[in-house]
Amino acid sequence: MYRDNKDLVWTIEKSGLVDDVEEASALLDSLGEIACKVRDTRSHNDRIGSRLDGCKVVKPEGLTRSCSLVTNAGYSCLTIKEGGPGLSYVVSNAVHEIIARADASVMVVLALTGGVADTIETFGTPEAKTEILPKLVSGEYSGAMCLTEPEAGSDLSALKTVATKDGNGYRISGEKIFISSCDADVHVVLARDGNTQQKSMYLVMARNNAVCVERVEEKCGLHASPTGTVVYDDSKALLLGESGKGMSNMFRLMGLARLGVAAQAIGACQEACSLAFSYAEQRKQFKTELVNLPGLRPVLDGMKLDLVAARALLYHTSNALDKLQKTPDKSDKHLVRRKMFLTKMFATEHCYRAIDDALQVHGGSGYMKEQGIEQLLRDARVFRIYEGTTQIQEQMFVQSLFKGGLASLASQYADAIRIRWDCLDREILRMERRIAQAALRLGLKRREDLAQYCAHWLANMAADALAARVLFTQSQHDESRRQLAEQFTNYCLPRFHSNEEALYRGLRR
């Protein structure tokens, strides 16, 4: 499940984003073999699903075996340096993509454990790093991130779970809902500090600690991975990071998780596209294969181009994050955050639509469970929601764009009018200039409500332009990518101009 994905192979082996190509290729080759075994149980796990028996969560045996198979091979907690593989974000997201292609439910469980491990490595006490972190890396412990509450979804400032001081530790009481891997051993919980409005992150060990899973949700997709309600009844907890810094620390972790979600979306999309192209090449209607039908060709081409663009964005942003880890720079940090918003938004939205098109290519048979593609569509739907909805990504992108003020926007506009001699470069430059002009017009209005209203159109314009720019940059290093860059730019221009027109209509509100 690695070698058959030519675009991912190019990204890892020829893009120049990976330092040790030989090691990364060997790692992903081995993972590809494991992923094939994981994929074999995907449909069965989906049919069985997770359920609640008393306070105990019962998961499909196939899910547990798959998670153990991946973890025992060393593909868990990939970016952890203290006792872990310490891989780059480029390579770790390639791993996420391959596992998500095999079974998104497995990737959800592993990703959350990795997120908790990263939290402990970054903010944990020496004792937590010594006693808990190694067990997360080895797979003995699993992890869950516990944020959402009945009255606090996207608006985490409204949460009510409370942590009170108890000797050298804390006690947590409250209810968290929609918690993925709700049966995990180690919980990272966001809670209010006593009766104050400030929030902090806390570490809660679930076993024998007044932590109860009260409900397992019946979801649209990801049936094998348990999602449920967790109740803390005066549960023992340890502070993670500085007191009162919970929101800022959590947003940092969510930023990393957004790239992981993008990788999951791309993995599911790769599987759907592979199934669709294989079906279209074999299925005959009107005395020819579906792939030859003129009316279907634009659909297949659009699926491929959006998938390639989403992958280009993911690994471009992952590489930028790797560089930022080595040489932190405040201006680069803001730029990388902006790219994270666009990457998560673009990958989850366009990959979901590509999976929907892949089902359409199958016709009536795609609607049946037997083909397996309807499961991919159900599983992928949540990628547009968790770790920040698409609308939240759009809002945060626009907020970050205006954070530097109009002078910053003007400097971007000035950079976008330099002369370029390559015709494709000039076309992308025109897109970038039009984004800068639209952003300036929006900024001059000085109305936050209008900026929020127009965020969807401006963010989508920016995502298309950035994807086109990344593909063009790839073509500068490898001429074989030139055709892809040209095809994607021509393909995305109509929707780019449609978003631009909608934005200017919005400005007249």
**CA-CA-CA-CA torsion for 354, 356, 360, 361, nearest 10 degrees?**
30
* CA 257 and chain centroid, separation: 6
Q: Residue 218 maps to which CATH number?
A: 2.40.110.10
pLDDT digits (tens, 9 = 90+) for 295-340: 999 999 999 999 999 999 999 999 999 999 888 776 688 889 999 9
Residues 415 and 358 both lie in one domain: no
pLDDT band at 420 (very low <50, low <70, confident <90, very high): low
What is the percent of the chain with per-residue pLDDT over 90, rounded to a whole number? 82
- Residue 177 included in any domain: yes
pLDDT digits (tens, 9 = 90+) for 18-39: 999 999 999 999 999 999 999 9
Residue at which a domain ends, from 79, 109, 138: 138
* pLDDT the model gives residue 273: 97
- Residue 1 included in any domain: no
CA–CA gap between residue 274 and residue 435 (Å, rounded): 34
Residues 382 and 404 both lie in one domain: no
* pLDDT the model gives residue 154: 77
CA–CA gap between residue 504 and residue 507 (Å, rounded): 5
Residues 123 and 154 both lie in one domain: no
Write down the pTM of the prediction.
Answer: 0.94
Number of domains, the chain? 4
Burial class (CB in 10 A: 0-12, 13-18, 19+), 64: middle
**CA-CA-CA-CA torsion for 498, 501, 503, 508, nearest 10 degrees?**
-150
Residues 311 and 291 both lie in one domain: yes
Residues 149 and 256 both lie in one domain: no
Least confident of 87-101, 203-217, 442-456: 442-456
Q: Decide if 98 contacts 28 (C-beta within 8 A).
A: yes
Q: Residue 452 maps to which CATH number?
A: 1.20.120.470
Q: What are phi and psi of 177, to 5 degrees?
A: -120, 165
Residues 350 and 406 both lie in one domain: no
pLDDT digits (tens, 9 = 90+) for 71-126: 999 999 999 998 899 999 999 999 999 999 999 999 999 999 999 999 999 999 99
Residues 368 and 443 both lie in one domain: no
Residues 417 and 468 both lie in one domain: yes
pLDDT at 438 over 80: yes
Q: What are phi and psi of 388, to 5 degrees?
A: 100, 115
- Residue 411 included in any domain: yes
Q: Residue 316 maps to which CATH number?
A: 1.20.140.10
* CA 486 and chain centroid, separation: 26
Residues 112 and 149 both lie in one domain: no
* pLDDT the model gives residue 221: 97
pLDDT digits (tens, 9 = 90+) for 35-59: 999 999 999 999 999 999 988 999 9
Residues 117 and 149 both lie in one domain: no
pLDDT band at 165 (very low <50, low <70, confident <90, very high): very high
Residues 228 and 278 both lie in one domain: no
AA letter at 448: E
pLDDT band at 191 (very low <50, low <70, confident <90, very high): very high
Q: Decide if 179 contacts 229 (C-beta within 8 A).
A: yes
Q: Residue 40 maps to which CATH number?
A: 1.10.540.10
- Residue 26 included in any domain: yes
Name the residue among 182, 161, 283 with its Cα closest to residue 228. 182
- SS3 for 150-195, per residue? CCECCCHHHCCCEEEEECCEEEEEEEEEEEECCCCCEEEEEEEECC
- Structure-block tokens of residue 250: 């959590």
Residues 337 and 215 both lie in one domain: no
CA–CA gap between residue 131 and residue 129 (Å, rounded): 6
pLDDT at 6 over 60: yes
Q: Which residues span the domain enclosing 309? A: 248-390
* pLDDT the model gives residue 405: 54
Q: What are phi and psi of 392, to 5 degrees?
A: -65, -40
